[in-house]
């Protein structure tokens, strides 16, 4: 389409130039003068129309490209929000399902079956973050602060990956003889469900999430009047 418009525009410009050159020779008179004027007006209208059409087409394409870029950014935000929420839900469920000593209120043990179930879910979230990081890397030109964004998402993914590694190492020793898993023996998962303020979970997962979210939202360019904010999260201490 662009090539055809440009070709027609070039032909029109060349034709106008030829008519102007012919007029300057003084050989165009009488009926030929009127024909020349009509042809010149037609070509001028054609050229003007083509220029306007080309500008409108380019403006429309630029708008659509901007919308597509922002749609991709919104998709990343949605996926990142979903992963964060899934981990927060899993953390609360693990804390609720954990076994506590009467003299010690903090989580002490969890049933092995629940441990494997929860870690399977956590593994899915870790893989989701890994894919998000790859998708952002493949389109890093769309993100103003790509290096910072990559660092934050990588921090989240690595935090979960360490827990998955601990889980994989634990599997050979969970032979069903003991139906319970003691958090004391698994410091990574213990950090996830332990005290929030002093945890690596807060520093390496929660804080990077909010920073990444701010960076992604900052890059959004196209906002329609009818767009409504979604997945708005507020910081909590649990």
Backbone angles phi, psi at 100, to 5 degrees: -120, 145
Residues 49, 94 within the same domain: no
Residues 80, 43 within the same domain: no
- pLDDT 10s digits, 71-109: 899 999 999 999 999 999 999 999 998 887 766 666 778
| Owner of token pair 């083509």 | 50
Range 136-162 average pLDDT = 94
Boundary of a domain, candidates 59, 85, 105:
59
Percent of the chain's residues with pLDDT above 70:
62
Displacement of CA 87 from its chain's centroid (Å):
19
* Region label for 165, one of left (φ > 0), alpha (ψ between -120 and 50) or beta (otherwise): alpha
Residues 51, 83 within the same domain: no
Question: What does pTM read for this prediction?
Answer: 0.69
Residues 46, 127 within the same domain: no
C-beta neighbour count of 119 within 10 angstroms = 23
Among 146, 154, 153, 142, which Cα is nearest to 72's? 142
Range 176-204 average pLDDT = 87
Q: Which of 34-38, 79-83, 106-110, 226-230 has the lowest mean pLDDT?
A: 226-230
Boundary of a domain, candidates 11, 36, 59:
59
Q: Are 130 and 157 in contact (CB under 8 A)?
A: yes
Boundary of a domain, candidates 31, 59, 87:
59
Among 84, 237, 233, 74, which Cα is nearest to 153's? 84
Range 22-43 average pLDDT = 59
């Amino acid at each position: 389409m662009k090539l055809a418009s440009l070709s027609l525009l070039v032909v029109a410009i060349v034709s106008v130039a030829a008519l102007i050159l012919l007029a300057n020779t003084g050989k165009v008179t009488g009926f030929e003068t009127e024909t020349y004027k009509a042809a010149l007006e037609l070509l001028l209208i054609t050229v003007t129309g083509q220029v306007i059409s080309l500008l409108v087409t380019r403006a429309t394409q630029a708008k659509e490209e901007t919308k597509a870029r922002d749609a991709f950014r919104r998709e990343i935000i949605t996926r990142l929000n979903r992963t964060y929420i899934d981990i927060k839900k899993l953390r609360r469920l693990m804390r609720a399902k954990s076994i506590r000593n009467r003299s010690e209120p903090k989580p002490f043990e969890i049933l092995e079956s629940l441990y494997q179930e929860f870690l399977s879910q956590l593994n899915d979230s870790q893989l989701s973050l890994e894919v998000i990081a790859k998708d952002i890397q493949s389109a890093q030109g769309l993100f103003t602060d790509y290096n910072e964004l990559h660092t934050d998402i990588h921090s989240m993914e690595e935090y979960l990956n360490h827990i998955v590694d601990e889980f994989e190492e634990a599997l050979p020793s969970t032979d069903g003889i003991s139906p319970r898993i003691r958090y004391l023996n698994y410091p990574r998962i213990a950090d996830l469900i332990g005290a929030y303020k002093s945890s690596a979970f807060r520093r390496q997962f929660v804080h990077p999430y909010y920073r990444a979210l701010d960076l992604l939202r900052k890059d959004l360019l196209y906002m329609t009047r009818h767009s409504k904010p979604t997945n708005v999260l507020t910081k909590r201490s649990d």
